[in-house]
Amino acid sequence: MSEAPGFTRYDAVPLTSEQETRFVSENMRRVFLLIYRIVGNVPDAQDLTQEAFIKALQRQDQLKDLDKAAHWLSRIASNTAIDFLRRSGRVSFSGIDEMPEPFVSAPGENPEQLVLRSEHREHLENALGVLTHRERTALLLRDVEGLPAEEVAARLNCSKATVRSHIANGRVKLRKFLERKA
């Protein structure tokens, strides 16, 4: 994953209190989304995002290359989420249905487009929900985080061949689900 433009570059660790606050605010949305896509519900994603930042800031002396702070944080975040799934042995999507749907439109978007976008997204969310957590995590790390299969294998603690199998099965399942619902 590439460093987002405009993100602060740090000269040394440990970070000052002010730098820590900036580090958290600049990366929070990205980390939250990554974890949310892996665990599938907001309350767990919230807890795990906090846990990931606490781990990262407590272990900042382990950060060797300051230019790779965002990548390093992503690794901590995905490992935190994967560990959570391993510990709990489940993936809950109940949070999605329980949350109220806010009526928010993007600039220049009419109500019909808004409904379509919302339905389409829900459709994709449901499609991701039919994958096993390993398939979904492999797919997200490969397609969204842009990690090579070797790195995904390292994070999932399995072989590259297994990761390829997870990715292929995940994409095929996703496609079949979308075609069935179309």
Partner 1 sequence: MTAHVAETNLALYVSGDVSLWRSALVSLHLAQCSRCRNRADAYRSDRTQIQRIASEMPVGVESEPDWDRLAMEMTANIRVGLAAGECVAPRRRKPVTLGWRPAAAMAGLVVVLASAWWLNMPPSTTQALGRAMTAIWHGHGSVMQEERGLVVEATSSGIELRENGGTLGVSQGAARPLAVSVSVQGSASARYINADTGQMTITSVYAQ
Number of residues interacting with partner 1: please give it, by CB under 8 A: 51
- In the list 21, 88, 94, 159, the residue contacting partner 1 (rule: CB under 8 A) is 21
* Cα–Cα dist 75/30, whole Å: 12
Q: Which stretch binds partner 1 (CB under 8 A): 1-9, 51-59, 73-81, 84-92?
A: 51-59
Asked if 122 contacts 70 with a C-beta cutoff of 8 angstroms, the reply is: no
131 part of the interface to partner 1, by CB under 8 A = no
171 part of the interface to partner 1, by CB under 8 A = yes
Taking the mean position of all CA atoms in its chain, how far away is CA 11? 27
130 part of the interface to partner 1, by CB under 8 A = no
What is the three-state SS of 123-162?
A: HHHHHHHCCCHHHHHHHHHHHHCCCCHHHHHHHHCCCHHH
Asked if 75 contacts 157 with a C-beta cutoff of 8 angstroms, the reply is: no
Interface ranges with partner 1 (CB under 8 A): 14, 20-21, 24-25, 28-29, 32-33, 36-37, 42, 45-46, 49-51, 53-54, 57-58, 61, 95-96, 99-102, 104, 120-122, 124-125, 128, 139-140, 142-144, 149, 164-165, 167-169, 171-172, 174-175, 178
